[in-house]
Chain A
């Protein structure tokens, strides 16, 4: 069975702080994809990143970075120098290589205060 766990329900930080959102996954597939989506207060789901299971290189995109570690089945997301506009619910998701189904975690609500 596939499962995604986001243990942090809610995180509050002050602007300019760094924050890491945790994601732990379970799958029996040897090949799979991992994703992060952002859901701002407006409600839409915004795609942030996709990683393949065979590519463990960390990725950086501006203030965002992702740490994928197969050994611990984790795909953590760090926002450096957080801003108020980063306030949103962030979802981690998993899909098998041969399936289109996305299994979502329960989300982490991030609040960034000025």
Chain B
């Protein structure tokens, strides 16, 4: 049963620290998405890649967030420096066609 995996599942960090979240998409899926979920904003698309190339990162605060796909099996989302308003659940999803399959999420708390 192929699944998207994300690490870590939980992260607590202090303001100003760097945070890196990792995602392993489903093997064979060529599109990878990063979403953020908060109570206030709901589910928001931050960025996505197809065949490892960034297609859209317009939802991402450029000054502190960066997303990369070093290879087809790994996507990373980095926040530097982190701020309390970044506290949220970050989801990775992968897709081969129109259906996106989500990972379990990384719950980030920035104090």
- A44 and B101 contacting across the interface, CB-CB below 8 Å: no
Q: Does A28 contact B (CB under 8 A)?
A: no
- Tell me the residues in window 3-47 of chain A with beta carbons closer than 8 Å to chain B beta carbons: 33, 35, 37, 42-47
> Is A106 part of the contact surface with B, judged by Cβ < 8 Å?
yes
Partner of A100, one of B33, B91, B104, B107: B33
Q: How large is the interface on B (under 10, 10 to 19, 20 to 34, 35 or more residues)?
A: 20 to 34
A47 to chain B: which residues have CB within 8 Å?
Answer: 99-102
| Residues in A lying within 8 Å of B, measured CB to CB | 33, 35, 37, 42-47, 50, 91, 95, 100-102, 104-107
What residue of chain A has the Cβ atom nearest to residue B48's Cβ?
A100
Contacts A100-B98, A102-B43, A102-B100 known; list 14 others, CB within 8 Å. A37-B102, A43-B89, A43-B104, A43-B107, A45-B91, A47-B102, A50-B99, A91-B43, A100-B55, A101-B45, A102-B33, A102-B45, A104-B42, A107-B42
- Tally inter-chain residue pairs, CB-CB below 8 A: 44
Separation of A47 and B93 alpha carbons in the complex (Å): 11
- The docked-state distance in angstroms from the alpha carbon of A107 to that of B93 is 18
Main secondary structure of the interface of B (DSSP, over half): strand
In this assembly, does B56 line the interface, its C-beta being within 8 Å of a C-beta of chain A?
yes
Answer whether A45 and B98 are a contact pair too, CB < 8 Å, given A100-B33, A101-B45, A106-B42: no
Contact present for B42 and A100 (CB under 8 Å): no
Measured CB to CB, the closest approach of chain A to B93, in angstroms, equals 8
Please state if B99 and A100 are interface contacts (CB–CB under 8 Å): no
Cβ B43 vs Cβ A104 within 8 A: yes
Q: Which residues of A sit under 8 angstroms from B89, Cβ to Cβ?
A: 43
1/0 per position for B94-109, CB-CB distance to A under 8 A? 0100111111110100
